[in-house]
Structure 1
Amino acid sequence: MLARQRQELIARAVEEHGGIRVSELVAELNVSDMTIRRDIETLAGKGLVRKVHGGATRADRSADEPGFTAKSEMHPQQKSEIARTTAELISPGSSVAVSAGTTAYAVAQELRHIKRLTVVTNSPPVAELLFDPEDKDRLVVLTGGVRTPSDALVGPVANEMLATVHVDTLILGVHGIDIDAGLTTPNLQEAQTNRALIRSAKHVVVVADHSKWGTIGLSTIATLDKIDTLVTDAELDEPARREISKQRVNLIIAARDDAPSASS
């Protein structure tokens, strides 16, 4: 059986049953464990299934919107590496907008160590994290708006407030990144508010781990040419790196442990 035929059978089984184990596929297709894992990797890379421990499940739908807590449990090490690297881009005394999302929240944790910051955010968790009534050195501004499952404040109130704001840097978390669809989110209102955040900033820094590449949400926030820098982790594959660099985006690969960051 050809690899394409195997992968079609795997994708069909996942769609019908919601998920399937590697051991079941090995027995059914009479191939090695490693062959099935490679097939699942290929399908996951195309967004057709989601790779999980021991097998595969259905890929996220474009309108699916995981909650903040659920997303916090995904790729924590990579998010931590991205956060430390991104914080190095922020200078003391600057103004920063921080979007909602768990990777942006990880960056906010690192921003606590930078002096004299003004922070604008539509994320209640970020505002709660950074606000300290004893610290007169940091100003935290929280937009109003309607709260989403991903813990973002969105809608007309947030958008109108952001229309009057001008910051040095935006730290933007996203649901997915695709060469054609650009930066995406499953929430239509959040897309509008994120566009308002982009308009408010001189420099746009997108923070996203490697799993976001190839994921497409319901609504496009912006095309890749609208961002300045993308900070991701070392697991982003070489073809994706080349595609991103072609868009003239400053690609920064977050350092692992104490290794230096790599830019292209």
Structure 2
Amino acid sequence: MLPDERRNFIYNHLHQHQAATINQLAKLMEVSHMTIRRDIQFMVDEGKVVAISGGVKLHDALKQELPYVEKAMLHHQHKQKIGQLATQLIEAGQVIYLDAGTTSFEVARQLAKRLNIVTVITNDFTICNFLMNMSHINLFHTGGQVDLRNRSCIGSSAANFLLTLNIDVAFISTSSWDITHGLSTPEEGKALVKKAIISASRRKILISDSSKYGKYGMFHICQLDELTDIICDDRLDPQAQQQIRDMKVKLHLASSTHESGGNHA
């Protein structure tokens, strides 16, 4: 395994498990402890990870998102439950925005099963391709600068198109969020699009599994109290749950263990 491949493996592993020991990583990649220590130091110098006693964890300040394919494999069950819960908030005839991302794709999968006519706007090519042959869905794509890593459009062109619309319900994804920093992203082009969505939408719903909570990126999008709803899985930190409720933001928790329903506040 080349050095870049090892470091990508470590970064992906930490997104799934939050932390890892040097011994675990050495066994998984069948390399020496010294090799792992060098890789960790390189990633520490990049600002991506933090060295801890005997191991490593993700840095709270997110420097880079994972590619689309790798993100799709993480916390998939939680994303499915969030998608199921999200579609319960959609009414026939509404104009819906689906933000780029693998959790939004699960919302699209649930929409495809329904017969109610809705209009869907998205900047995500995977979602657009999936919904293209659904006769009950009026489909728009934002266009704009193509982000190959995440199979979506970003930047001012996409943002300006969104600002011409009146959106009933926007499902907004993010790689990082918490009480202090709100929604954020390490990429400026994504921030422009998400800010435009928030401005153009009547109901603004964050959809994110709990693994994204506690991280923050360089570019601020909005504070949590600018949202109307948050849909997350029920592993979200209890203190964070209470703080969100105190903000008067509707919190919907998708169960980690049961197929149907969710907790609402």
Indicate the percent of aligned positions where both proteins have the same amino acid. Answer: 26
**Cα contact 2:156–2:192 (8 A) shared by 1:** no
Amino acid at match of 2:254: A
- Written as runs of structure 1 = structure 2, the 5 A alignment for 1:50-199 is 56-59=56-59, 61-114=61-114, 115-132=116-133, 135-148=134-147, 149-199=149-199
Distance in 2 between residues matched to 1:180 and 1:243, nearest whole Å? 11
Counterpart residue number, 1:44: none
**Cα contact 2:96–2:167 (8 A) shared by 1:** yes
Q: Find runs of 4+ consecutive structure 1 residues off by over 6 angstroms.
A: none
> Which of these two proteins has the greater Rg computed from alpha carbons?
1
**Cα contact 1:229–1:252 (8 A) shared by 2:** yes
3-state SS in 2 of match to 1:216: coil
Structure 2 gaps of 5+ residues are: 1-13, 26-47
| Count of residue correspondences | 222
**Cα contact 1:50–1:60 (8 A) shared by 2:** no
Structure 1 gaps of 5+ residues are: 1-13, 25-46
RMSD between aligned alpha carbons? Answer: 2.6
Give the TM-score of the pair, scaled to structure 1. 0.77
Distance in 2 between residues matched to 1:123 and 1:89, nearest whole Å? 21
Distance in 1 between residues matched to 2:103 and 2:50, nearest whole Å? 23
Q: Deviations over 1:28-75 (max 9, x none)?
A: xxxxxxxxxxxxxxxxxxx97599xxx744436522121111111110
**Cα contact 1:210–1:232 (8 A) shared by 2:** yes
* Deviation, structure 1 residue 108: 1.1
Give the TM-score of the pair, scaled to structure 2. 0.77
Counterpart residue number, 1:243: 243
